[in-house]
Amino acid sequence: MPSVNSPIGVFDSGIGGLSVLRAIRVLMSEEAILYFGDQGHVPYGPRSMGQIQNFSEGITNFLLDHDSKLIVVACNTASAAALSYLRRRFPFVAFVGMEPAVKPAAETTKTGKVGVLATPATFQGALYASVVERFAAGVELFQHTCPGLVSQIEKGELASAATRSILEDALHPMLEKNIDTVVLGCTHYPFVIPLIEQIVGERVRVIDPAPAVAKQAKRLLEAAGMKDQTRGRAPIRFFTSGSPSEMKSLLPVFLGESGEIEPVAWKSDSVIE
Ligand code: DGL
């Protein structure tokens, strides 16, 4: 059974979830963390809902086997495809998931026009449809899936010409429609905020939901009496189903700290060795 000192389990299809981990670290550096990047299967965006559910279930089992007290699904795509499935499969586990931040965007837009960048699976899921229905009344949304962007970011190409061109293709048509807000509906995208800001200019607000997700994780831990009060800066363990050396080389850039990466192998779509 997990205790107050148990780690928070965080997962993503790859290194995108590090944008959420970074925010959790800022808010609760005393919490130990397990980070799982499913780089053997990245990107999730073009995959089927069923496959993403299987991967998410396998990773959740892995994180629970390692004593996680809370699971943060630091991936909009996995949240869209699998969050309600995971909550049904693991009724006694606390999950924090992600949804595109349409609500704060709709509350603050002046032009009534908002751009949303996310993966195909995120836009197809019922979660996005319900967010739009609940929060976007009277607001016009312009969506784009930014094909290839997740792979560019996984390669560490945060400012290359190819990455810029993907973002320009997504954002220029939105700018022509007079958007004043861009919602980052994929946890990989905050790593290219400098490039996005160069393209959209300073009059367009860019919303990264990671700080709000970290706050929600803190609230849940406090409510359950599971917030670790005892330590200084706690350790992070990193796991990847892809190449440990690649993840290791990207950590300082993406997280501002380095770490050892532990390799894991999938036995089947839902079982990790
Ligand atoms: N980081 C992801 C998200 O938040 C997934 C990207 C992908 O694997 O396609 O949606």
**Across all residues in the chain, what is the average pLDDT?**
96
Name the active-site residue from 20, 42, 75, 121. Answer: 75
Residue 188 alpha carbon, nearest atom of ligand 1: 1
70: Cβ below 6 Å to ligand 1? no
Q: Does pTM surpass 0.85?
A: yes
Q: How far apart are CA 98 and CA 79, in angstroms?
A: 6
The stretch 59-67 carries a mean pLDDT of 98
Name the residue among 144, 185, 139 with its Cα closest to residue 168. Answer: 144
How far away, in angstroms, is 213 Cα from ligand 1 center? Answer: 15
Number of H helices, E strands in the chain: 11, 12
Pick from 120, 118, 116: nearest CA to 106? 116
- 127-130: long-range contacts (C-beta < 8 A, 24 or more apart)? 127/79, 127/80, 127/83, 127/84, 127/99, 128/80, 128/99, 128/100, 128/185
Q: What is the DSSP letter of 186?
A: S
Banded pLDDT at 45 (limits 50, 70, 90): very high
Residue type, 227: K
pLDDT score of 230: 78
Task: Tell me whether domains 8-98+211-263 and 102-208 share a fold.
Answer: yes
Q: Which of 143, 150, 154 to mutate to test the pocket of ligand 1 (most atoms within 8 A of CB)?
A: 150
Length of the chain (residues): 273
Is 186 in the active site?
Answer: yes
Reported as a single tens digit per residue, the pLDDT across 77-132 is 999 999 999 999 999 999 999 999 999 999 999 999 999 999 999 999 899 999 99
- Backbone dihedral region for residue 146 (phi beyond 0: left; psi -120 to 50: alpha; all else: beta): left
Q: Is 122 close to ligand 1, i.e. is its CB under 6 Å away?
A: yes
Domain edges within the chain: 8-98+211-263, 102-208
- Among 11, 42, 48, 188, name the best residue to mutate to test ligand 1's pocket (greatest count of ligand atoms within 8 A of Cβ): 188
Task: Give the CATH number of domain 102-208.
Answer: 3.40.50.1860
- 143-166 pLDDT per residue, tens: 999 999 999 999 999 999 999 999
CATH 3.40.50.1860 is the classification of domain 8-98+211-263: yes
- The bridge status of strand 266-268 relative to strand 271-272 is antiparallel
Q: For ligand 1, is residue 144 a contact (CB within 6 Å)?
A: no
| 3-class secondary-structure state, position 128 | helix
